[in-house]
Amino acid sequence: MTGATASAAEASTAASAEASAASNARTDPVAAVNPLALWFAAVLYSLPLLTSVDIVSGGTSLGVWLVLFTALGITPATIVKRTWPLLLAAPLSGLSMLLYAEPGGTVHVTWWLVTVSDNSIELALAITVRVLAIGVPTLVALVGIDPTRLADALAQIARLPARFVLGALAAVRLAGVLAADHRSLAQARRARGLSDTRSLTGWLALAFALLVTAMRRGTMLATAMEARAFGSGERTWARASRLTRRDAVVVALALGIALAAVGLALATGTYRLVGSGGGA
C-alpha cells in the first residue's frame, strides 16, 4: 500500500510539472518554427558577427531583429524577460575592454593597469553591442523551446540515437520534479526539526537526500523505459518532425541579416577583424 501511495504521489508530482510546463508554453510565432531550424539559424547567424568587433555590424543586426520581433508581436517585456541575464552581463564585458584594452588614440585616464583611451572606448562599445546583437535574438528564439519538439527533431531529422535523445528529454522533463522534491524535503526536515537548511551541515544533508531521491527516481524511470522497449531498435514517433519552407526562410533570414550587417561594416570601413588592433 505504501509503494502504491508513493507511486501515485510521484505520478501526481510529474503530472503537475507537465501541466506547469504546458501552461508556460510559448505562443509567439517563432514557436511554430522547427527547433532544429532555430538552432541551425542561430549558429549561422552568429558566425559572421563573431569575425568582427565593430559597432556598425552589431548595431545594425540588433536593430533589425528588434524591429522584426516587434512586428511578430513579441513585446519588449517578453524580450527583457528572456534576455535579462545577458542584459546584465553585456556591459560587464564592455567594461573589461574599456579598462584593459590596448591603448590607442588619445589617452583619457591612466592608473596602474587601467588605461582608458579612444581605442578602448570604441572596443568597449563594440563588444557590448556585439554581445547583445548575438545573444538577444538567440535567446528570444531559443528560450522556452518545447523539449519534446526538440527531441523529436534531433532524433528524426538530425538522426541522433533515440536512446540518448529520449534519455535527455526525460532528464529535462524531471527537472521540475527535482525542484518540487527540493521544496518537499526542505519542508519535511524543518517540520521534523532535523536540521537548519541555512547551515552548511543542513545544506549538505538536504543535498544528499535530494541526490538519493533523484537516483531512485532515475532508476525507476530507466526500468520503466526498458520495460517499454526504449532503445531496442527502430521505433515509431507520435509526432512527426519535418523541416518546412518556413524553417528554410528563418535560416536564410538569419544568415542574410548577419551577412548584410557585416557587409555594411565593410562598406563603411568600420569592419575590424577579431584579434587585430587590440580586438577581442
pLDDT digits (tens, 9 = 90+) for 148-166: 899 999 999 998 888 888 8
Rounded distance between C-alpha atoms, residue 242 and residue 225, angstroms: 25
| Residues in Cβ contact with 160 at an 8 Å cutoff, skipping those fewer than 6 apart | 154
Rounded distance between C-alpha atoms, residue 7 and residue 30, angstroms: 37
Query: Cell triple for residue 109?
Result: 585616464
Rounded distance between C-alpha atoms, residue 165 and residue 184, angstroms: 29
Is 190 found in the same domain as 120?
Answer: no
Is 101 found in the same domain as 215?
Answer: no
Mean pLDDT, residues 206-216 taken together: 87
Render pLDDT for 176-196 as a digit per residue (tens, 0 to 9). 788 888 888 888 877 877 666
Q: How do the residues of the chain divide into helix, strand and coil, expressed in percent and rounded to 5?
A: 70, 5, 25
Which segment, 26-35, 71-80, 217-226, is predicted with the most confidence on average? Answer: 71-80
Is 51 found in the same domain as 112?
Answer: yes
23-32, 217-226, 246-255 — which is least confidently predicted?
23-32
**What domain range includes position 128?**
36-145+245-268
Closest by CA to 224, choosing from 64, 14, 1, 2, is 14
Q: Is residue 123 part of a domain?
A: yes
Strands (DSSP E) contained in the chain are 107-111, 114-117
Q: Is residue 119 part of a domain?
A: yes
Give yes or no for a contact between 197 and 203, defined as CB atoms under 8 angstroms apart: yes
Is 257 found in the same domain as 125?
Answer: yes
Query: Cell triple for residue 235?
Result: 521505433
Is 50 found in the same domain as 108?
Answer: yes
Closest by CA to 66, choosing from 145, 133, 142, 144, is 133
Q: Is residue 121 part of a domain?
A: yes
Helix and strand element counts for the chain (H, E)? 10, 2
96-100, 112-116, 210-214, 273-277 — which is least confidently predicted?
273-277
Looking at residue 18, its pLDDT comes to: 46
Rounded distance between C-alpha atoms, residue 77 and residue 279, angstroms: 33
Burial class (CB in 10 A: 0-12, 13-18, 19+), 99: middle
Give yes or no for a contact between 11 and 218, defined as CB atoms under 8 angstroms apart: no
Q: Is residue 50 part of a domain?
A: yes
Q: Is residue 19 part of a domain?
A: no
Looking at residue 197, its pLDDT comes to: 59
Categorize the per-residue pLDDT at 36 as very low, low, confident or very high, splitting at 50, 70 and 90: very high
Categorize the per-residue pLDDT at 144 as very low, low, confident or very high, splitting at 50, 70 and 90: confident
Q: Is residue 152 part of a domain?
A: no
Q: In Å, how far from its chain's centre is CA 53?
A: 23
Is 172 found in the same domain as 116?
Answer: no
Q: Is residue 1 part of a domain?
A: no
| Residues in Cβ contact with 46 at an 8 Å cutoff, skipping those fewer than 6 apart | 134, 138, 258
Is 137 found in the same domain as 167?
Answer: no
Q: Within 10 Å of residue 241's Cβ, how many Cβ atoms?
A: 19
pTM of the model: 0.76
Is 208 found in the same domain as 71?
Answer: no
Looking at residue 131, its pLDDT comes to: 95
Rounded distance between C-alpha atoms, residue 32 and residue 36, angstroms: 12
Is 252 found in the same domain as 164?
Answer: no
Categorize the per-residue pLDDT at 1 as very low, low, confident or very high, splitting at 50, 70 and 90: very low
Q: In Å, how far from its chain's centre is CA 99?
A: 29
Is 186 found in the same domain as 118?
Answer: no
Rounded distance between C-alpha atoms, residue 67 and residue 8, angstroms: 49
Is 134 found in the same domain as 50?
Answer: yes
Q: Is residue 235 part of a domain?
A: no
108 three-class SS: strand
Q: What is the mean pLDDT of the chain?
A: 83
Is 122 found in the same domain as 68?
Answer: yes
Looking at residue 49, its pLDDT comes to: 94
Three-state DSSP string of 5-41: HHHHHHHHHHHHHHHHHHHCCCCCHHHHCCHHHHHHH
What is the enclosing helix (H) or strand (E) of 197?
Answer: none
Mean pLDDT, residues 230-256 taken together: 87
Number of domains the chain is built from: 2
Looking at residue 28, its pLDDT comes to: 78
